[in-house]
Amino acid sequence: MALTDPQLRAYDTIVTPGRLQVVIRKEFDFGSLHQDWAHNITVQHPGPFQVVEIDMSHVGLVSSTFFAGLMQLHFHYTGGGSEPVRLVKPDARVVRNLKIMRMDTLLTVDPR
C-alpha cells in the first residue's frame, strides 16, 4: 500500500482543556514529513492554551527545520498568553544546540 495519506505526519497532537501536547515521532526527519509541521499545528490548534508541551522522548538529534518550527510555535502560543513552550525529554544534543543558538532562555526544558 502506498503512503498517499495527505494527513501523514511525523507528530501526534493531544488536546485537553488548556493544554496542547505535541508528540514528535522517531521518523520526524525522514523525507518531507517535517515540512511546515509547526504551521500545520497552529492552524489545526490555534489556541489559546495555557500549556504547550513538545514531547521529544522518541527522537534524537533533529534538523534545523525543527528549531525553526519551535520558534514559530513559541511566538504563536506565547503571543496568545501561553506559558513558555515546554520541551519534554529532548536529547542532550538538542539541549546543547538550544544553548548555542541562545534559544534556551525562551523555553522550559524537562531533561531526559
How far apart are the two ends of the chain, measured CA to CA in Å?
36
Domain of 24, in residue numbers: 11-110
Assigned domain for 3 exists: no
Residues 101, 67: contact at Cβ < 8 Å? yes
Q: What is the pLDDT of residues 40-68, one digit of tens each?
A: 999 999 999 999 999 999 999 888 889 99
Residue 57 vs residue 4, higher pLDDT: 57
Percent over 90 (pLDDT), the chain? 71
Edge-to-edge strands, sheet with 51-55: 11-16, 19-24, 51-55, 86-88, 108-110
Residues counted in the chain: 112
> pTM for the complete prediction?
0.86
pLDDT score for 69 = 93
Q: What is the pLDDT of residues 9-25, one digit of tens each?
A: 789 999 999 999 999 99
Q: Does the structure show a pLDDT above 50 at 2? A: no
Indicate the number of domains in the chain.
Answer: 1
Strands (E), the chain: 11-16, 19-24, 51-55, 86-88, 108-110
| DSSP state at residue 100 | H
CATH number, position 44 = 3.30.750.24
Assigned domain for 100 exists: yes
Q: Average pLDDT of 25-35? A: 71
**Distance separating alpha carbons of residues 93 and 9, to the nearest angstrom:** 23
Q: What confidence category does residue 30 fall into, taking pLDDT thresholds of 50, 70 and 90?
A: low
